[in-house]
Amino acid sequence: MSAMSRSERLVLATRYRLVSRIGQGAHGTVWKGHDDLLDRAVAIKELRVPEELSEDDRIVFYRRTLREARAPAQVRSPSIVEVYDVVIEQGRPWIVMELVEAPSLEQIIRESGPLPPERVGPIGRQLLDALAAAHRAGIVHRDIKPGNVLLDGDRAVLTDFGLCFPAGSASLTKSGHFMGSPAYVAPEVAAGEQATPRSDLWSLGATLFAALEGRPPFERDNVLATLSALANEPAPVPRNAGPLAPVVSGLLAKNPARRLSHARAADRLERALAGPRSGRRPPTPRLRMMAAIALAGATVASCGIGVTALVIGMSRQSSGPSATEPATAATQARAGAADDAPPGTASAALVVRARTDNCRIFVSVPGPSMEVLSDETLSRGDARQYDRPRLNAVIHDASACDVWVNGQRKPLGESGRRQTYTVTKETSGS
């Protein structure tokens, strides 16, 4: 009878039955199993004990395996494979885990090539959340790489928490084989320092780099060449990262003190996922007008005419409420009944009253030189009225403001939707 068939007939702790081999690596074999007690499918990792260990070292190995298997079992995250049990059988430890039947990120990269930023971004966010949960519990993964990331539909799952390096985070064995994944190990860990949460973040950056570029940042032909590049060469700039480039580059900072923290990485990633509008707000029409004034003023000044004269001339042409001046009694009224315009404003061309504190308005007089009457956010109950022959108005949240045009109340718009009005005295359009 072969070793495989003997193992396949093995039942661990009288309940975990091995069904079939899923995969095998340097540190052990992963089996698909079945929990006969709870009648559910499980994954079982058979850890390989290093042959060179003495009897005392084997005891330490078992104790550490048990301790590091218990730790992630206490962490609850949808992006972390759940650990169910640890069993010592046939002189070696077996880890019983949640079965996730899905390809790894490594398989997907190998079969399909680099992934687009819009797919890598959500993967990175889930892995970052998983690491944050683990690090809060005092757990350092120490072997983050595409092979340990499973992609189950839209769910990214990090496997092998603290189980791949039970004898040390990074070292060269007597035979010269690197313990772990040198292409994804942080520089300080490769130099012999202890693994930390910051080193996990570096490995996450290398994993995202590989997802975007098809290869890890410092991979070379052999282990020693890879470690040499890691120690002596600057991190390459990802070419296919798009909006994720600041996240990946920040995680790959070689100095752990300058590396992105969880919070900063999450912030940059959220900005990247939200798109270009998530950061700086686009300039408002008023700001664009001010920039045009400044440019015109600079041009006039270069011809020998003072900029001050230009600004004063424009000020004299302006009338009506200013965005920077407090509204007077003639231009502001407190709210009356919900369906009635504020008192004294029924004949005005345009009246706006804030339903909530999010009533942001921009009102201007169209023409060759646009005159801005208001660019502000009103407090709930505040009202403004404008009585010009022609007006343009933008309500940034159509559900936050009540609007009357020539005395007629306009229907309330949808929440969060921008509404534009073009007003002519005694007539209306929107």
Say what the pLDDT of residue 219 is.
Answer: 92
pLDDT band at 6 (very low <50, low <70, confident <90, very high): low
Q: What is the pLDDT of residue 26?
A: 61
Task: pLDDT band for 337, please (50, 70, 90 cuts).
Answer: very low
pLDDT, tens digit (0-9, with 9 covering 90-100), for 108-167: 999 999 999 999 999 999 999 999 998 998 888 889 999 999 999 999 999 877 543 333
Residue 177 — pLDDT band, cuts 50, 70, 90? very low
Comparing 210 with 420, the larger pLDDT belongs to 210
Residue 396: pLDDT band by 50, 70, 90 thresholds?
confident
Rounded mean pLDDT of the chain?
78
Among the listed ranges 244-258, 267-281, 332-346, which one has the minimum average pLDDT value? 332-346
The predicted-structure confidence for 40-83, as pLDDT tens digits, reads as follows: 999 998 887 777 778 888 788 777 777 667 766 778 888 998 88
Tell me, what's the pLDDT at 217?
Answer: 96
Q: Which residues are annotated as a binding site for ATP?
A: 45
Tell me which of 36, 39, 129, 143 is the catalytic residue: 143
Q: Which two tokens stand for residue 337?
A: 């009944």
Interval 98-102 mean pLDDT: 92
Whether the predicted pLDDT of 394 surpasses 80 = yes
Q: 320 vs 267, which has greater pLDDT?
A: 267
Q: Is residue 360's pLDDT more than 80?
A: yes
Summarised one tens digit per residue, pLDDT across range 180-224 is 588 999 999 999 999 999 999 999 999 999 999 999 999 999 989
pLDDT, tens digit, 9 for 90 and up, residues 272-311: 988 764 344 444 444 444 444 444 444 433 434 343 333 3
Closest to 265 (Cα-Cα) out of 284, 287, 250? 250
In percent, the amount of the chain with pLDDT more than 70 equals 74
Confidence of residue 367 (pLDDT cuts 50, 70, 90): low
More confident residue, 84 or 375: 84
* Catalytic (active site) residue 143: yes
